[in-house]
Amino acid sequence: MKQLLIQYTTETELYEQLKELKKEWETGGYTRLLFHVFSATSEEATLQKLAVQLKTEFPDSDVVGAVSAGEICNARLMKPGILISALFFTCTDVRVVKYEDVKGHEAERGKTICDTVNGQDDIKAVELIMTGTEYNTRVIFEEISRCKSGVQVFGGYAGGHSMEVGEHFIFDENGLTDNKIFAVYYSGKDFHIDVDKSVGWQRLGHHFTVTKADESRMIELDNRPAVEVYEKYLQIDRNDHFAENTFEFPLIAAVEEDELLRHTITVEPDGTLDLAGYVTEGMKIYLCFGNPSLIVKCVNERIDEVRKFRPQAILLYSCSVRKSFWEDFVDMEMLPFEQLATTAGFHTWGEVKRNPITGNVLEYNITLLSIAMREGDAPETEIPPLRIDDSVLKGQASLIKRLTTLVSATTTELQNAYKNLETMNDRLSYLSDYDAMTGIFNRRKIEAVIEQTLTEAAADGRKVGLMMFDIDLFKAVNDTYGHGRGDSVLIEMARIFRETICSVPGGHLGRWGGEEFFAVIPGYDRDETYAFAEELRKRVEAHKFEGVKETLTISIGVITATGTEDRKMLYKNVDDCLYFAKQNGRNKVIRFES
């Protein structure tokens, strides 16, 4: 496998350069030839003519082209122009399928791609070159996510250099289009591919929740206009430069233990943010910032993985926001890849990658997607470790680096503090409803549940069974065996009550105080409630409590309500029944007789 690159300038030079490609092809060692063409211009006549020329010179080749936000040649951002990457394969089946009329048929096109993948033997990867902003990619990716496991999915969105002009086109010998998908299927036992992303953008502050969204339109965060996240916290005003000003602080969406970065394209009059990538209601959203040290660390880790893979060709699909972030230093994070293999690619308006754990195909932003390819076994030749040369980060850049380190450390401390506060609030919320010892509802909570159940019963005409029960001679347990054993008895007793009562639909249990408990069972009439209480009494009597020699029993008062009764009188009547059971031999169920 080999990758050769051409920077197209004039037709005369192109003719000579194509002759060199022909010489390579005619060596006879190759079976497939794939052209990637990445272009700064969207002039259809020029691009179509170029694609036709490639097909004419190499009839058995495939051509996939994209208008790009930056052309990457030999791991460097070249001057705006046209880059041609020629991938020569010796034993890999490379098949290109171009799906038309995508908009309005996203699910159908995604299913077709999935079926194609699942129908091929030895398929290793599918590459998607798309105009992602022109149709609903989320629906497409949901279908492709059903592909068989182990198949890599990767790709990039076409989009021009200008953020103000929507040049989202892909092209081939038939011309430009914004309503197709180019899918490249890579198959073969000896074809190997390694795909991963590098990010390096770091969360800033606490999360917000998407409360209203429509695909790539984020309408509300925490029930407020989405734009306020920038206006309030970063003082970025709504004006013609809003998108440009927010590039340095994109958003991170936490999804399935993964992070999807989203940057803003435009802001609507009502405060809705139009994003590069979809969001869904319920997503946790964070502001974030590019941390140079973290970016370098992440990319270095990826470079080491690619080094161990021993590639013969590398593609880099890097978000246009990374290009804007690095400005004059944009080549810094890409250059080491060229020392591993010939490296080409483009700056995108979105990146596509399949999560290897969940199998879900996701749409990313602000990532550096590195695709390493090889045919055959990896050579045994050792390659020394490579690192990004970040010595250029001096002076003002060094100051920025220190400031982001400060922000990073402060943000981490604040996030940890907030997490601890959330944990404490969760604990306090739990304690406000549950008894700390037994883990069942406390009196305040069970009273609220009883009231709600009675109100609902009064509305729909149902009966409600109420039971108040007390552990017989519990003081003797504490006196004989100590309060520690008494607490164990309470916990074990509560477990028996919970297993019995809460197994009934709508059944609830609470600790009334001391060794007294209360239960509510909706839908039970007078006889059913009495029979249920008898079953519970017998179960306790038959249970052997650890560390207690005596048989323990309970007394129960039972009443049936309709929800229309006076509440004070209702509680008094059931309490009287319990008292009568205790005064007349204990280990009894006494029901209220009107």
Question: For the segment 172-190, what is each residue's pLDDT rounded down to a tens digit?
Answer: 999 999 999 999 999 999 9
Centroid of chain to Cα 359: 12
Instruction: Supply the pLDDT for residue 405.
Output: 56
Instruction: Supply the pLDDT for residue 183.
Output: 97
Most confident of 14-28, 81-95, 157-171: 81-95
Name the pLDDT band for 558 (thresholds 50, 70, 90).
very high
Q: What is the 3-state secondary structure (H, E, C) of 414-472?
A: HHHHHHHHHHHHHHHHHHHHECCCCCCECHHHHHHHHHHHHHHHHHHCCCEEEEEEEEC
Mean pLDDT of the chain: 91
How many CB atoms are located within 10 Å of the residue 42 CB? 20
Instruction: Supply the pLDDT for residue 499.
Output: 93
Tell me which DSSP letter residue 327 carries: G
- What would the DSSP string read from start to end of 86-142? EEEESS-EEEEEEE---TT-HHHHHHHHHHHHHT-TTEEEEEEEE-GGGS-HHHHHH
pTM above 0.75, yes or no: no
Instruction: Supply the pLDDT for residue 239.
Output: 84
In the predicted structure, residue 488 carries a pLDDT above the cut 60: yes
Instruction: Supply the pLDDT for residue 568.
Output: 92
Instruction: Supply the pLDDT for residue 182.
Output: 97
In this structure, the strands spanning 313-319 and 342-348 are parallel
Question: How far, in Å, CA of 231 to CA of 227, rounded?
Answer: 6
Question: For the segment 270-304, what is each residue's pLDDT rounded down to a tens digit?
Answer: 999 998 888 999 999 988 888 888 899 999 999 99
How many CB atoms are located within 10 Å of the residue 158 CB? 31
Q: Tokens 């429509």, residue?
A: 214
Nearby residues of 135 by Cβ (< 8 Å), 6 or more positions away: 102, 103, 104, 106, 179
Q: Tokens 């907030």, residue?
A: 418
The stretch 428-446 carries a mean pLDDT of 86
Question: How far, in Å, CA of 117 to CA of 557, rounded?
Answer: 67
Question: For the segment 21-65, what is each residue's pLDDT rounded down to a tens digit?
Answer: 999 999 878 999 999 999 999 999 999 999 999 999 999 999 999
Question: How far, in Å, CA of 213 to CA of 274, rounded?
Answer: 10
Instruction: Supply the pLDDT for residue 122.
Output: 94
Contact 174, 100 (CB under 8 A): no
The stretch 343-354 carries a mean pLDDT of 96
Instruction: Supply the pLDDT for residue 184.
Output: 98
Contact 32, 306 (CB under 8 A): no
Q: Which of 89-93, 409-413, 447-451 shows the lowest per-residue confidence on average (mean pLDDT)? A: 409-413
Tell me the residue length of the chain. Answer: 594
Nearby residues of 81 by Cβ (< 8 Å), 6 or more positions away: 7, 8, 9, 39, 40, 41, 71
Question: How far, in Å, CA of 73 to CA of 330, rounded?
Answer: 13
Contact 489, 420 (CB under 8 A): no
Phi, psi of 101 (to 5 degrees): 50, 60
Name the pLDDT band for 593 (thresholds 50, 70, 90).
confident
* Structure token digits, residue 111: 């299913």
- Can you name the residues that pair with 520 across neighbouring β-strands? 466, 508
Contact 17, 103 (CB under 8 A): no
Instruction: Supply the pLDDT for residue 342.
Output: 98
